[in-house]
Amino acid sequence: MILRLTTLIFIMAVSSVNAVHASELLVEKKSFTTKNFATVSGEVIPEVTIGWEAYGELNEAKDNVILITHFFSGNSHAAGKYTPNDPQSGYWDAIIGPGKAIDTNKYYVLSSDTLVNAFPHLPHVITTGPASINPKTGKPYGLDFPVVTIRDFVNVQHALITSLGINKLHAVVGASMGSLQALEWSVAYPDMVERMVSVIGAGAMDAWTITALEHWARPIKLDPNWNHGNYYDGEAPLQGLASTLTMITQQAMHPVAFNQSSPKQETLPQAALESVTNGLPATDFWFGAAAKNAPLADANHILYLVRANQLFVAGHEQDLATGLSKVKAKTLFLPAKNDLLLQPYLAKQAVEILKEQDKAPQYAEIDGIFGHLDGVYNIQSKATELAEFINQ
């Protein structure tokens, strides 16, 4: 179980594979640059570069495109492998590939990195954010990087898509933070999006989630190495970052899976009884794993991701109903029944509004013991519903 768990942490931190669904897709990471990108916050970023990858073939009409948008700690590697010996496939390899629910024999499946990716130091992640070089100073932006929103992520993807001559998306599908992008796509560009699938998602952040996200930011801000975002010449705030990553991992899970994945604690472990500064088996395990991943992440990027999520309400209109009134796509919402991070009430809120607007949203709950992560680990349990929705 411990071995399994290493993968488990890794999925949150990086991307993942389910060995059962070993992929045959070979994937190439590509890069897209757009200049003078205007943000929702009213700033201009001189140059934005993000990574993307694609599975399947673009047809001549360029109307067989499915866009995949990624979760908070993920990246564009949604399916396939970069090399045949790659130990991991993309995180949704179970449902993306030849003959799978999102069938790459039919569709051109394009998956995009976001701005301010949490793990900019991972080899295959291409992103622009506070850790990127500010062309004006020749140094990393740090907190001079403008605050960005989910809409900004979508607008970068829009620039990518249109640069490829694509004007129509057969579907946009995303999990967690990816679901926010998928929904935002259908509000921001309603005439381009035909289908929208929100997995473990929400229509708008509520105070509960905004405050929960703030707890992810606090350990970073409290770490003296954070130094108000100026750490690129010195030590990164890795201790705070490790706390944050552990919190993300735990909140993305449900106690059942978390307990099964944790080492057992003997009664009154000697070290823990000697000092409150010593760890316990479970805390050493989870915080230790996060500490190993922390150097791949960037603390400021995580603060920016937190903020992008905190500001989310689909459409950025005065209320969710006004935003959702613009949606023309068919919609499918797949929250996870045991999700403790974005609980099903959040998806239900959007569904109820869409129903009132006579838009016939579809809704089904993913069961499982992983909680929020069931949107990744157990997505194949909804493969039939997903395929029917995509192909309808």
Enzyme catalytic residues: 176, 339, 372
Site for its own copies in 38-77 (CB under 8 A): 40-41
Sheet holding 44-55, edge to edge: 30-38, 44-55, 108-112, 65-69, 171-175, 195-199, 330-334, 362-363
234 lies in the site for its own copies, by CB under 8 A:
no
Question: Which is closer to its own copies, CB of 68 or CB of 257?
Answer: 257
Contact (CB, 8 A) for 106 and 66: no
Query: Mask: binding to its own copies, 136-175, rule CB under 8 A, as x and -?
Result: -------x---x-x--------------------------
Single-letter code of the amino acid located at 147? V
91 lies in the site for its own copies, by CB under 8 A:
no
Least distance to its own copies, CB of residue 191, Å: 23
Question: Which is closer to its own copies, CB of 76 or CB of 239?
Answer: 239
With CB under 8 A as the contact rule, the residue among 85, 207, 233, 234 that binds its own copies is 207
Pick the stretch among 98-106, 154-162, 187-195, 307-315 that binds its own copies (CB under 8 A): 307-315
Least distance to its own copies, CB of residue 274, Å: 7
Question: Which is closer to its own copies, CB of 61 or CB of 268?
Answer: 268
d(CA 311, CA 104): 34
272 lies in the site for its own copies, by CB under 8 A:
yes
Decide: helix, strand or coil at residue 328: coil
With CB under 8 A as the contact rule, the residue among 7, 283, 362, 381 that binds its own copies is 283
262 lies in the site for its own copies, by CB under 8 A:
yes
User: Positive or negative, the Cα torsion across 316, 322, 326, 331?
Assistant: positive
d(CA 245, CA 186): 30
Question: Which is closer to its own copies, CB of 52 or CB of 377?
Answer: 377
With CB under 8 A as the contact rule, the residue among 126, 197, 247, 329 that binds its own copies is 247
Closest CA to 220 of 242, 197, 196, 249: 242
Closest CA to 113 of 198, 174, 52: 52
With CB under 8 A as the contact rule, the residue among 58, 164, 340, 383 that binds its own copies is 340
Half-sphere exposure of 280 (CA within 13 A, CB side): 12
d(CA 173, CA 187): 14
| Helix ranges, the chain (H) | 2-13, 150-163, 177-188, 207-222, 238-251, 255-261, 270-274, 281-293, 299-310, 320-324, 344-356, 374-377, 383-391
Q: Which tokens in the block code for residue 147?
A: 């605050």
230 lies in the site for its own copies, by CB under 8 A:
no
363 lies in the site for its own copies, by CB under 8 A:
no
Pick the stretch among 56-64, 103-111, 158-166, 310-318 that binds its own copies (CB under 8 A): 310-318
d(CA 322, CA 315): 8
**Contacts with its own copies, residue ranges (CB under 8 A):** 40-41, 143, 147, 149, 205-212, 214-215, 217-219, 221-224, 228, 239-240, 243, 246-247, 250, 255, 258-259, 262-263, 265-269, 272-277, 279-283, 286-287, 300, 303-304, 306-307, 310-311, 313, 316-319, 340, 343, 345
